[in-house]
Amino acid sequence: MHQRSAHRSLLVIGSVALDDIDGPFGFHKDLLGGSASFIARAASYFTKNVSIVAVIGDDFPQKHVDELTELGVDTRGIERQKGETFHWVGRYAPDLATRETLDTKLGVFGSFAPKLGAHQKDAQLVLLGNIDPALQLDVLRQVHAPTLVAADTMNLWINIKRADLEAMIAKIHTIMLNDEEARLLAEEHNLRRAAAKILKMGPTSVIIKRGDAGALLFHGGGVFAAPAMPLTDVKDPTGAGDSFAGGLMGYLAYAGDLSPKTIRTAMIMGSVMGSFAVEQFSVDGLRNLTATKIQHRFDELVELVQFDQVRL
């Protein structure tokens, strides 16, 4: 992956967290987590034009920030405040198919007010990671004229902040959510109908993440299904959706255009990065990747769904 000056700038807003995770592979404490941690790292493999806005407490290991900086990410917008870092405690079922939240300590994240640097307000691509939609709206008021704004969300905000969430969705281009969240937001079980209802809320595209069933993109050009790689080893699904989003937006920044063809390829790059993320704990699956490894997984996905066009 050569670096091109044409790369668009990608601004990432999200959480940087410490996670305690219990599950079939044991209990792991103080893992690096948070949406922005996965997004920025996944995107960094496609472009060096990534900057973050996030908040950490005084307990957060500086090495995690330094690592992102070494990957070429602009971390000046990661603000260290007095207090504890956002901390999530969760437990996965033995089959890793479901998880429950055992505890959430907001810490410094409870008073997070994203403040963009002057260099960030001109970002061309903006990814609003899964945080309170009121904060996502705050960010939207600060950016000048982005060509693409995408946002992730979750069931919590659909349940307790629907008005803010709908206001946010009306202002962005792409909303990403998982299948259950899409059903909850649209109050419609059928995914195709749910996507149609969400499109009526204002965005130009809806991406529905379905874990190991892949992801669906609904937009004016129809529907695209990005496959998920069937993996032999899955250790920790945490951050899969964020890594997907980071790969997708990172590739769009790299490609420098937003054509339907490029967006399809970007969905596949998202699937590639999500597949790496779940093979290890925390962001470990996103460490030490190379263009060769990413290309290889991409080619595996090409092969996975390849079939001939036939005429009956």
Should residue 299 be labelled a site residue for a copy of itself when binding is judged by CB under 8 A?
yes
Angle CA 139–270–176, to nearest 5? 45
Handedness of CA 94, 210, 289, 67 (dihedral sign): negative
Q: Which of residues 228-247 bind a copy of itself (CB under 8 A)?
A: 230-234
Should residue 308 be labelled a site residue for a copy of itself when binding is judged by CB under 8 A?
yes
Q: Which of residues 84-123 bind a copy of itself (CB under 8 A)?
A: 94-97
| Nearest to 246, CA basis, from 19, 20, 11, 31 | 11
Among 80, 99, 121, 264, binds a copy of itself (CB under 8 A): 264
Q: How far is the CB of 286 from a copy of itself (least distance, A)?
A: 16
Should residue 4 be labelled a site residue for a copy of itself when binding is judged by CB under 8 A?
no
Stretch that binds a copy of itself, among 76-84, 136-144, 186-194, 275-283 (CB under 8 A): 186-194
Among 111, 147, 190, 204, binds a copy of itself (CB under 8 A): 190
Should residue 177 be labelled a site residue for a copy of itself when binding is judged by CB under 8 A?
no
Q: In residues, how long is the chain?
A: 312
Count of chain residues binding a copy of itself (CB under 8 A)? 48
Should residue 224 be labelled a site residue for a copy of itself when binding is judged by CB under 8 A?
yes
Q: Enter the tokens of residue 96.
A: 């890793």
- Looking at the Cβ atoms of 16 and 50, the one nearer to a copy of itself is 50
* DSSP secondary structure code for residue 211 in this structure: G
Tell me the C-alpha distance between 219 and 229, whole Å. 23
Stretch that binds a copy of itself, among 11-19, 112-120, 217-225, 239-247 (CB under 8 A): 217-225
Tell me the C-alpha to C-alpha distance, in Å, between residue 120 and each of 57, 126, 146, 158, 304: 22, 9, 10, 28, 39
- Looking at the Cβ atoms of 87 and 219, the one nearer to a copy of itself is 219
Stretch that binds a copy of itself, among 32-40, 79-87, 145-153, 304-312 (CB under 8 A): 304-312
Q: Residue type at 151?
A: A
- Looking at the Cβ atoms of 202 and 221, the one nearer to a copy of itself is 221
Residue 250 near residue 12 (C-beta atoms within 8 A): no
Q: How far is the CB of 206 from a copy of itself (least distance, A)?
A: 12
Should residue 291 be labelled a site residue for a copy of itself when binding is judged by CB under 8 A?
yes
Centroid of chain to Cα 14: 9
Q: Enter the tokens of residue 224.
A: 């695209």
Determine the longest span between alpha carbons in the chain, in angstroms.
68
Should residue 268 be labelled a site residue for a copy of itself when binding is judged by CB under 8 A?
yes
Among 81, 104, 155, 265, binds a copy of itself (CB under 8 A): 265
The total of other beta-carbon atoms located within 10 Å of residue 228's CB is 20
Should residue 164 be labelled a site residue for a copy of itself when binding is judged by CB under 8 A?
no
Question: First-to-last CA distance in the chain?
Answer: 41
* DSSP secondary structure code for residue 116 in this structure: -
| Nearest to 141, CA basis, from 159, 161, 126, 156 | 126
- Contacts (Cβ under 8 Å, ≥6 apart) of 73: 40, 41, 44, 48, 50, 51, 52
- Looking at the Cβ atoms of 155 and 265, the one nearer to a copy of itself is 265
Q: How far is the CB of 247 from a copy of itself (least distance, A)?
A: 12
Residues that bind a copy of itself in the complex, under the rule CB under 8 A: 1, 94-97, 189-193, 196, 210, 212-214, 216, 222-227, 230-234, 261, 264-265, 267-268, 291, 294-295, 298-299, 302-312
